[in-house]
Structures are given as C-alpha cells and as structure tokens.
Amino acid sequence: MVQNIFGTDGIRGKTNTYPIDAETILKIALSCGHVTGRNIRSPKVLIGKDTRRSGYMIENALTAGFISMGWEVNLLGPLPTPAVSFLTKSLRADLGIMISASHNPFEDNGIKFFDKDGLKIDTKTEEKISKEIKSKPQLVAPKDLGRASRINDVLGRYTEFAKTTIPTSLSLSGMKIVADCANGAAYKILPQILRELGAEIVSIAVTPDGFNINEECGSTKPEKAQKAVLQNCADIGICLDGDADRVLFIDEQGKLANGDQVIGLLARAWMEKNLLNKSTVVATVMSNLALELYLEKIGVRLIRTQVGDKNVSKCMSREGLNLGGEQSGHLIMSDYSNAGDGLITSLQVLSVLVESQKKASEVFNLFNPFPQSLINIDADKCNDFQKNEQIKNRLDDIQSSLKGEGRILVRRSGTENVIRVMVEHREQNMLKETIDTCLSILKKEED
C-alpha cells in the first residue's frame, strides 16, 4: 500500500526535511501536474503563499515541476488561503495551491491544494498524487513547456469581493478594532479593508520578516491582542492565523471568543433572518457540547464531522448547508466562499455587532462552554488505541460513565506526530479526574 503523503490539511512538515524539501516538492509538482492535468489543454495553476522565508524555495520547486509538465503557472505572492480558493475559481484556473503551514511556527511549511471550484482536492486525488510520486515523470516535449507569470493586484480583487458579502450600507465608523494579523498573509489586507469601512484600527503583528509568523501573536497566541483591546479601549479584537483561514475574536472586556461562539452567533443571526439552510450547521467532533445544547435550544440542528475543514465542507455540500466550522476558528460560509475564511467571518461578525447595536461581550455571551482540555501525547509514547481492543473498550467505558455530561475524544493528529486527547465535562473536578484516567490508559509505561 502506498503511503499517503497528505495529512488533515494538505502536505505539511518541517522545512528542508521530508516532505517539505526541494527534491520532494519538485516530485509533488510533477505528480500533481500529471494526475490533475490529464485531458486538459493548456492547464493553469495559481500559487500563493504566506510570509515564511521557506515559501520562496517551495514556490520555485513547484513552479519548475508544473512547467515541466506543460502547465501555465500564475504566481500570486503573499495572500490569504481563502483568497487562493476564490481566485482559482474566479480566474478559471484548473488548480490552486497555497504554500502555508497555517498556525504553525516559521520552521514548518506546507502545501494546500484547491480544485477548479475552489474546494480542497478530494482524498482520491490525494492518493493518486501520493502514488504517482514514486513513478518516473512523463515530461512534456520542449515545445510544450509551460511558463510562469506574476498576477498583480490580487489583493485588490479579493478585497472588493470580500466587501460584497456585507450590506453596502454597513459602516464601521466610530468603531475601534484591534487587528492581529499574525505577521502572516493578511498583514496588509485586514487593516486595509477595515479602514475602508470606516473603523479606527490598532494593528498588531503586521511586520513580517520571514521568521516571525505566528510568533507570540495571532489566533494561537492572542494575549497581546487581548491586552491591546483593554489598553486602547477597543470595541473588539480580531486575531487571524498565519494564512488567515481561521479567526478568533476578543470582546471589549478582553475575553476570547472561539469558533464555537461564532458558529452560535451566526446561526442565531441567520435563523432570525431565515438565512440558515435547513436550520442546520456543521461542526467537528471537537466543538463544545455546550454549543450543541445551545443550538438545540434555538431550534438549530448540529451535524458533527471528523476534524478538518475539508470534512466540514464536504458535509455541508452533501447536505445543502451554508454554515459550518471548527472550534479553532475555521468557519465556512458557502454562500460566499468554499474555504475557511477569517476575513469574511470577521465582516459577518462585525455586521451582526453593528446591526444589534450591542457590545461584543453581549453578542458573544450566548452560552457557557463546558470546561474542556486538549492534551497532546508524543505518538511514540502512546499505546495503540486504534488496534488494541482492550484500550478501546476502556475508553468506551469512560465515555459511557459520563452520562451525557461530558465527552472524550482521542485521535491521531493529521499534521504532527502526536495523539490529541480532548476531554470536556460540565464539572471542572470531573474534567481533571477524567483526564488523569485517560492518560493513565493511553501512555506507555516507562522502562
């Protein structure tokens, strides 16, 4: 069986080690070009990237591979992942690629792939690419080589599109917003669009140097933004990650609101306007049980999927739904975009805030999340919970004992060599007791 080089969200790893080394990336481009370019005359690929220094290496390796396979390559430069999704469809490209490791530190990088409709490529295509990497490439004749060019003003195109997702009458005049751009792909576009809509902006992490992406900033490290909200008496804070496909919010009191709160907020707002398809939203198994109970209370059904925005998007498409997301802040609003989009999510939340004429703390205070803890265990130090029936049964027994008051979830990460253990419970003391029990079962005994 051929090993699938893809993880939960594309291909990811430490720069200059497999699979994020120049040789492997060239092979990935050759394989992808052959698999996805079959029966397409003059195929075209768009390539965007975030602000990591390693993006230059990956961009050039991909470009060489696709040109060798006869593809036209359009280079977009630094811009958000959802912009690549949008532009792939808008510019009628056959494939879109984003070079990013999302919220990971600068040492890591990755490659995300979009089909002609701006959707993440499916698992079957990923498996075909992984298999093809081992084969000798079928290069085109010299006269059929592709070429590369750079497209200008892609940020302007995406900015104007993003503004069409909110009413033209919406103004942010009089609002002060802290914008934390994680020194990443949206360091220009987020402050720019908010200023164009009339807001006063306090910008954080907007000076990328190739190495400081996600460094003590952004959605994974929001503490500086929380302090900035309080110090500047801001109305709200917005924290993106490195490629701007996820976003967290901070209310005027400095309290953090994650993807679960935003799903609840938009679900209620859209229900009131009869905009929520089938009165149903999609979230992953990681979303808090309190969200599910809140949605049930307001007449909204929740469908859960496995972790990954690709799984959320697939379920939304299958069920004909228009709102879904992850607790981490990936939100997909299929009426506007096929990808998780931190900028459009921000505009939708700001729209609700303006229309309600309420403070952010009032708008986000919809439910109290159950205490939840996420722990990572080195996979090499963890028992095989997937194949060991005894361990599986013990974990099942723990879940049954919670009697609907909590949940446990154990899964292998698709991006790192760790086992992720999520435990939540209505009561804090039971949370700790459940965590300790799970860890005692999962961790290997030390010699």
Please give the angle made by the CA atoms of 241, 372 and 368, to the nearest 5 degrees: 90
Active site residue 102: yes
Structure tokens at 230: 């309080």
CA distances from 114 to 117, 204, 222, 334 (A): 8, 30, 29, 15
Q: From CA 179, how far away is CA 197, in angstroms rounded?
A: 14
Strand positions, DSSP E, 317-371: 324-325, 331-332
What does each C-alpha distance from 308 to 281, 302, 312, 340, 443 come to in angstroms?
15, 16, 7, 10, 25
CA distances in angstroms from 229 to 208, 226, 236, 356, listed in the order given: 21, 5, 7, 21
Whether residue 19 is preceded by a cis peptide bond, meaning omega within 30 degrees of 0, is: yes
Q: Which entry of 102, 130, 287, 346 is annotated as an active-site residue?
A: 102
CA separation, residue 296 to residues 3, 267, 324, 363 (Å): 41, 11, 15, 18
Contact 321, 334 (CB under 8 A): yes
Per DSSP, the residues of 96-150 read EEEE--TTS-TTEEEEEEE-TTSPBPPHHHHHHHHHHTTSPP-PPPGGG---EEE
For residues 353 and 176, give the distance between their C-alpha atoms in angstroms, rounded to a whole number: 13
Give me the sheet containing 236-240, strands edge to edge.
Answer: 200-204, 176-180, 236-240, 247-250, 256-257
Q: What is the dihedral of CA 78, 353, 272, 244, to 10 degrees?
A: 10
Catalytically active residues are: 102
